[in-house]
Amino acid sequence: MTKFWATMTKRFNPSKILILTSLIFLMSSCITVNKKAGEGVVPSDQIFDVAVKEFDLPVEMRVSDSLQTITSGALVVGAHKDPDLGLTISSGAFRLYPQKDTNHFGNDPKINYLRLFLSISSNIVLDENDSKIPQNVYVHRLLTDLDTLKIYNNSLTEADYDPTPLNAGGNVYFGGDSLNMELSKEYARELVTATAEEMDSLNLFVKRFKGFLIRTEPLPGSLQGGRFNIIVPSSVNMVLSYNHTDSEVTQPDSVIYYFTTDTDLNLNTIKHSSSSLAGNNTSEKIYIEGLAGIKPFIDMAQVKLMMSEWAAENNTPLEKVVISKAELIFPYEMPLNYKTLSQYPTQVFLATRNTGDSYSRQPYYQILEEINYNDTKGSINKSLLTYNLNITGYFQNLLKGKYTKREELKAYIIPVASTSNSMTGEVSYFIDNTVYYKGVLNGTSSIRRPKLKLVYAIIP
């Protein structure tokens, strides 16, 4: 034990620590820090002061009635009645093509049946109890061409399809994963009159047989609620069975399949009753509705005027204001039933109306590019009860006067969704025009009202 203790004592020499501590003390005591070094090198009139300022945001509500829904990748078919937003109905229009490229109908073919098969990929409901409600589903033939000029949800009217459904009486759908419908034999008899040229050319075929529209009816009477059914176009198939009457045909029974693709032209046509809420900018509530419904709207020309008046009050030219960060803040209150938050969009962002080659030079909604370059990306914040939208780049260009078109100043808060490239991992954001939402945001007369928050500096 004595030897061990002596060994340990030899290893632990406190004098070394005392010497090291003394050296550190002596060294530190010899250094004088001059915190004023560099003072006066930069002229006082060249020093930038960074400040934070919040403005009440002028927000009203408008219906996004010209929302583009062409080839959205999903047919939205359903109806919903809401005590605040009224009735919403969505119908899906699409085209079908024959798989055979030749005419083998023979003379006077007899129709066995014509059936349309639908696979339902998902259902959208605001109340889970509505997921199995019965809905009457109808199929109508289109009377007008479904072309690239019909890009908006309101491009088709009742005059564009035959009012008499091809499935007489409709089919009752209870929210399952598929729906099979027997269609009119009279229409089937038209299909078997297609010429060899029409069967060989898809363009000629759809020029004559323009396609179909699927719709449902809302719940009857005063019943509230409803359901929207999401149908992927490629899951729609039609089967025509007919019988030859030619004596020389060895196999008299024949079947032709008709198909479509997710990339072929399809269009959702949507009707909202929420337009009665449009223009209300003094309410305690602002609604953000899915599909082509009511949305928060900001006139950015008015915002720029507000900024000019603020700059004038501070005797500062607007062009000397440098924006470090511009953020839109949309607060909301926690609903009594927390499950109601599932009706809110999980992500929103600012979209403006533009004109470009993407939609045949027609005006369309475009999400701001800023969504790619910030962290929150307009996602719902359930802790702060806000949506926060970083629009710095757009706001800087707004103050610089780079937006000269009136459409570029019409800004809507719109639900967005995203998809990722499985190969590169790149994430792309797009307007979510296939899901029905009902979000209730605080209005301009609320205590926690919408705000524009700026981090800025003024150039001396």
Q: Which of 110-119, 194-203, 215-224, 443-452 has the lowest mean pLDDT?
A: 194-203
What's the CA gap between 340 and 382, in Å, rounded?
Answer: 12
CA separation, residue 122 to residues 118, 177, 276, 398 (Å): 12, 8, 30, 41
Q: Parse the chain into domains and list their residue ranges.
A: 50-64+277-458, 75-264
Q: What is the pLDDT of residue 4?
A: 32
> How many helices and strands, by DSSP H and E, does the chain display?
7, 25
Confidence of residue 148 (pLDDT cuts 50, 70, 90): confident
For the cut 60, the answer to whether the pLDDT of residue 13 exceeds it is no
Average pLDDT over residues 115-131: 95
Average pLDDT over residues 334-351: 95
pLDDT tens digit sequence for 375-412:
889 999 999 999 999 999 999 999 999 998 888 899 99
Q: Which residue has the higher pLDDT, 355 or 445?
A: 445
For the cut 80, the answer to whether the pLDDT of residue 11 exceeds it is no
Q: What percent of the chain has pLDDT over 70?
A: 86
Work out whether the CA dihedral 266, 271, 277, 278 comes out positive or negative: positive
Q: What is the pLDDT of residue 7?
A: 36
Confidence of residue 48 (pLDDT cuts 50, 70, 90): low
Residue 229's CB is within 10 A of a number of other CB atoms, namely: 26
Q: What H or E segment, with its residue span, contains residue 382?
A: none
Contacts of 297 (CB under 8 A, 6+ apart): 59, 60, 61, 62, 410, 411, 412, 413
For the cut 50, the answer to whether the pLDDT of residue 243 exceeds it is yes
Q: What is the pLDDT of residue 393?
A: 94
Q: What is the pLDDT of residue 331?
A: 98
Q: What is the pLDDT of residue 106?
A: 72
One-character DSSP codes across 15-48:
HHHHHHHHHHHHHHHH----TTTTTTTS-GGG--
What's the CA gap between 109 and 103, in Å, rounded?
Answer: 12
| DSSP 8-state secondary structure symbol assigned to residue 191 | H
Residue 257 bridge partners (DSSP): 239
Residue 141 bridge partners (DSSP): 212
Average pLDDT over residues 102-121: 86
What's the CA gap between 146 and 323, in Å, rounded?
Answer: 46
Q: What is the pLDDT of residue 40?
A: 57
What's the CA gap between 293 and 413, in Å, rounded?
Answer: 11
